[in-house]
Chains A and B, each alone.
Chain A
Amino acid sequence: MTQQTAPSPDPGADEAPQQPGQASGRRRRFGRRWYESKVLPVLFLLPAALFIFGLTVWPVMRTLQLSFTDADLEMFMTGEFDYIGFANYAEVLTDPHLRSVFLTTAVFGLICVIATLALGTAVALLLNRAFKGRTVLAILVLLPWAVPRVAAAIVWQWIFDDQYGIANWALAGMGLEMFEGFAWFNNRYTAFTAIGITIVWQSFPFVALVMLAGLQSISQEVLDAARVDGAGPLQTLRRIKLPMLKPLLLVLVVISTIWNFKIFDQVYVMTGGGPARQTELLAITTWREAFTQHDFGLAAALAMAMFVILAIVTFLYLWLIREDDEDLS
């Protein structure tokens, strides 16, 4: 790797009047510099750029196109579909079920975001303290994150099983007799409760770890100074730690919102959107329209609606971090 001679054509070798002297290696060195400053970056960047463009930007364009068509299964046979204007979007806006799905997704997502951030921050504050068994706890906290989503959904479904579930046993044992043999997944709200617990259980470790890293990055001098000035732990938390972590918290809010808008696995495994499509979230509905109803046009319109909502959230996020110019320079 060392001293590779680049036999490149050296276009305009005289353009760079660098240091005088060492004329012998100058041409060769310029060739290498040209290669390293112009060719190498492109070579290194190209694969990732192809993936990112070809697998994200292009598909979004295609979804946009499909959303104006009546594409269905026939498209695969004949490759044909008709443009039907905004009919799919009109259906999205007028269909009562689809409208309720949007509302459900937003409300449920918001509750999950708040619960996840509250729990994650509390856990970070706890892990930032010194106590025996802290390392063990830190590893235990990683567990929910390590458990695959589908496995988590399955085990929580088992925990919330009506007949043999440990949740019903514990709740009934606490004197809440209504939970004896209670069918969590037969009712919209209890089904969402079980799903929500699963989601928060899975997502709080990430928030906790990020917040913990943030907490530990606060310099000890600042904290010492606060202590010298007579600030108690609560004051330190409210006036120093949380304000200093605010940018991080905002980023986490946006990331969690985006994640929770996309929830699919847990719902698909635990309820499949039932009973009677009552626990359908946007992603589930979109999937259903595409893969069981084969109405790719409507599904694409739903997907675009989701995309626009998330794009707004993303722009909000970019606007929030805009002062962080260094990050985008």
Chain B
Amino acid sequence: MSVSRSQGAPSHAASAPPVERPSTARATTTSAASQPRRSRSRLPRPRRILGTTGTYVAAIVLGVFSAFPFVWMVLTGLKPNPEIFTATPVFIPSEITHLRFVEVLTGDFTLYLRNSLIVTTSVVVLTVAVSASAGWVLARFAIPMRRYLLILILSAQMFPFVVLLIPLFIVMRELGLIGTYPGLIIAYLSFSTPLVVWILRGFFKSIPVDLEEAAMVDGASRAGAFRRIVLPLSLPGIAATSVYAFIFAWNEFLFALSFNRNSPEMHTLPVALQQFIGREGTDWGMIMAASVIFTVPVLVFFLFLHRRMTEGMVIGATKG
């Protein structure tokens, strides 16, 4: 890609066959995919080439900017120590050491990994269960004061964490929930629920009521219609909101830091990581390895849901 930027772009464009003009019969099958291309084909050729080159330059710069820090994190985690602490960065390590990753996964860090997993999974499941039902009711039923309820929900997700932190900390302390899983999980639900309700409600509203009514004519109960018709159809929305809840809970730092200050064994990954870099002579290799392991579950979740979302889009396409 980088080669074509300097010299290859003009020759490539010259040698490439002119924009295809497929016969109309065939065009119908591919029209959706080729739409953006078609719209630009009218530009005069020199500007098009300039535009194309510009596009690729921008794409490369953007790609490097987006990916480099993560790549650098992985590389630093894999490099032998002498190659980490150099004035001139070493981009291609002379040897790959996976020992740090092994140590992160078998050493003390497993404790924090487990804490994070327990808290995050609980938050995702509870958030989606609670919010899907509420979102559906708000989408379908004439609830008194619905408008104000919706405004409240919308505003609630904008409340700064810090405003809620102090009273929730005090209450959790009084209830003896400081330094426990439930304390953190309950606190996290206050942030994940409002936005997820809001988003899922939007999804449910976009599904025609007729489908539910048809199912009820066929003998399903109202809740059954929700479960069998609405929920499957809003799978992309549920997937998206699960990602949201997951990322939120996995990343959350402020509450985890404040609630578990006196119980280090309850630290979640971000807090544990932060505690590592405070020290003198920071072991950047270990920190980077741990950061990679902290980051990977989010990536996996993203990829998994990426497919789900595409699936949902395909289903939507065939039905529409």
A residues with CB within 8 A of B? 1-4, 32, 36-37, 40-41, 43-45, 47-49, 51-52, 54-60, 62-63, 66, 75-76, 122-123, 126, 128-134, 136-137, 139-144, 146-152, 154-159, 161, 163-164, 166, 169, 201, 205, 220, 223-224, 227, 232-233, 258, 261-262, 264-265, 268-269, 282-283, 286-287, 290-291, 296, 299-300, 302-304, 306-307, 310-311, 313-314, 318, 327-329
Contacts and interface: CB of A to CB of B under 8 A. Distances in A.
Nearest to B169: A290
Contacts of B164: 55-56, 59-60, 63
A328 B40 contact: no
A313 B156 CA distance: 13
A126 B163 contact: no
A154 B254 contact: no
Contact of B39 (A227, A268, A291): A227
23 contacts: A41-B137, A43-B133, A51-B190, A55-B186, A55-B193, A126-B55, A126-B58, A126-B62, A131-B52, A131-B59, A147-B298, A155-B69, A155-B291, A158-B73, A161-B284, A164-B84, A164-B86, A201-B69, A227-B42, A264-B253, A283-B162, A302-B162, A328-B151
A45 B277 contact: no
B159 A56 contact: yes
Q: Tell me which of A54, A147, A157, A233 has the highest count of chain B C-beta atoms within 10 A of its own C-beta.
A: A147
Contacts of A128: 36
B97 interface: no
A59 B295 contact: no
Contact of A47 (B42, B63, B130, B158): B130
Contact of B36 (A43, A66, A129, A201): A129
Given A40-B222, A269-B277, A149 B69 contact: no
Contacts of B55: 126, 129, 131
Contacts, number: 289
Given A32-B221, A40-B222, A143-B67, 12 more contacts: A1-B221, A48-B133, A52-B190, A56-B190, A60-B167, A62-B166, A63-B163, A129-B36, A155-B291, A164-B85, A300-B166, A327-B202
Given A227-B42, A287-B165, A155 B84 contact: no
Interface of B: 1, 34-37, 39-40, 42-43, 51-52, 55-56, 58-59, 62-63, 65-67, 69-70, 72-73, 76, 84-89, 130-131, 133-134, 136-138, 141, 143, 147, 149-156, 158-171, 173, 186-187, 189-190, 193-194, 197, 202, 219-224, 227, 247, 250-251, 253-254, 257-258, 261, 269-270, 273-274, 277, 284, 287-288, 291, 294-295, 298-299, 302, 306
